[in-house]
Amino acid sequence: MTNTAEEVQARARAAGEDVETDVYEDYFGFQETHRWLFPDGRQWIEYQTMNEGAKAQFQKRTNRDLVVERASGNARMNIDPAQERWALLGAACTSWHIMREGHEVNFSNATFEQWLKVANPRLVEDLEKAVRKANPWLLQDMTVEDIDREIKNLQEMREVAEEREKEKGVSVSR
């Protein structure tokens, strides 16, 4: 015998139970965190899907001035991709478990920036991709040219990997 939801609620009401409790979503304090693992699988960096405050902080740090020259009508905008990447990671990354010379390093903005200065660029790029994926509004800023450049970089990386695998005698599939 199957009980419908209405029958279950009717029995609960008859027993004096409250079946109509309103539940509200809490829209204060949005927080969603993710962990990006280093290749060793033991060390990690924790980053957030940015809330409005972190998004505003990032946008302030990467605000670009547009300069229009009256005489020529030329416009120019300075874009520093390294500054933007560091600002993005600084706004999104909140914690880590990372070792240096056998000792755990405490997370702070200063130590994170020190790590960025000496980190393997491939690791930083992988972390940046993970942060961008968790914050889809960042992808809206990418132009078709940016996406094409990313595709070209990936194609070049694929060609290098193919060569490396050929040298090792590993078959490469398309």
For the stretch 57-105, pLDDT in tens is 888 887 766 667 777 777 666 666 778 889 899 999 999 999 999 999 9
H/E run at residue 57: helix 52-61
Q: What is the pLDDT of residue 14?
A: 87
Query: What's the pTM value of the predicted model, to 2 decimals?
Result: 0.62
> Alpha carbon of 117 to those of 86, 102, 114, 120, 125: distances in Å?
10, 20, 5, 9, 13
Mean predicted lDDT score pLDDT of the chain: 84
Please say if the pLDDT value at position 1 is more than 60. no
Residue 107's nearest CA partner among 87, 99, 126, 55 is 99
Output Rg (C-alpha) for the chain, integer angstroms: 25
Range 138-148 average pLDDT: 75
Residue with tokens 């930083």: 124
- Model pLDDT, residue 120: 95
